[in-house]
Amino acid sequence: MNSNREERKSDEAAFWNAEVTHQKGFRRHFYTVVNDYLWNQMMRQVGDLRNRRVLFIGCGTSSVITREMAERGAEVWCVDISPDSIDQLMKHPFGALRSRIHPVVADAEDMPFEDGFFDVVLGKAIVHHLDINRFINELERVCVPGALIVFSEPMGTNPFINMFRWLTPKSRVPTEHPLMPADVKDIQKHCGTLHRCYNFLFSIASFPWFFMGFHRVGRLAFAIGCALDRVVFALCPPARWLAWNITLSARLQKKG
């Protein structure tokens, strides 16, 4: 069992090391728009970060969001399983903020931090790569009681998106598992009220514009699609399970 886990972690690290140098072309433009939308949503959930210890899980090379959290007064520990990602992140010119940013190469399921250390945890597209219960148990260990957790993750409940995933296996790690309703319930077991925000249904139709190189048109189509998504998800709750993404926020409750 341990050997299987070690092999999985090794494959993850190798995949993300390669991704550091291969995010190019239309795919990069499309995901920049998607990521900006999600980070803005997550930052609204995080709120005030003054004097907070923040655990940024699966940080990758996200220098902009790392800088923003440090500028807002947080002490940020950036954790990623990919050494190349951490190395690239720390090449950015953070200037005087550098002392507030702490890079760590580590497995999110087994982190080198003391108990009860963090006030806030966030990550984008990271939980679906992990053993969820093992990861949440580790968060319970390293966080203070009532720590805020915010995650934005792909969902696995849209059959058309799942078909696209099946057709493009080289674009992702084989062991990843987009969140299903049971996974959301597993996370909720460790929390108080779990807030859910569903994203991206009609807005995904903007992808072809980016593919054809019409990035301005793609951005406009994406914005219109997101507005339509919000209306449809509000008026027809079952449609939320066709969303591509879900953002979850909650206060972590320690066992016992």
The pLDDT confidence band at residue 21, using thresholds 50, 70 and 90, is low
| CATH numbers and ranges of domains, the chain | 2-25+45-201+247-251 (3.40.50.150)
Angle at 146 between CA 182 and CA 107, to 5 degrees: 60
Q: How many other CB atoms are there within 10 angstroms of residue 101's CB atom? A: 23
In this structure, the strands spanning 75-80 and 101-105 are parallel
Q: Do the Cβ atoms of 64 and 241 come closer than 8 Å?
A: no
Residues linked to residue 198 through DSSP beta bridges, in sequence order: 246
pLDDT, the chain, mean: 89
**Separation between Cα atoms, residue 139 and residue 55, nearest integer Å:** 10
The pLDDT confidence band at residue 61, using thresholds 50, 70 and 90, is confident
In this structure, the strands spanning 195-199 and 118-124 are unpaired
Give Cα separations from 63 to 28, 40, 97, 128, 147 (angstroms): 16, 15, 12, 22, 23
| Higher per-residue pLDDT: 171 or 24 | 171
- For the entire predicted model, the pTM comes to 0.88
Q: Given the structure tokens 């390669």, which residue do they identify?
A: 18
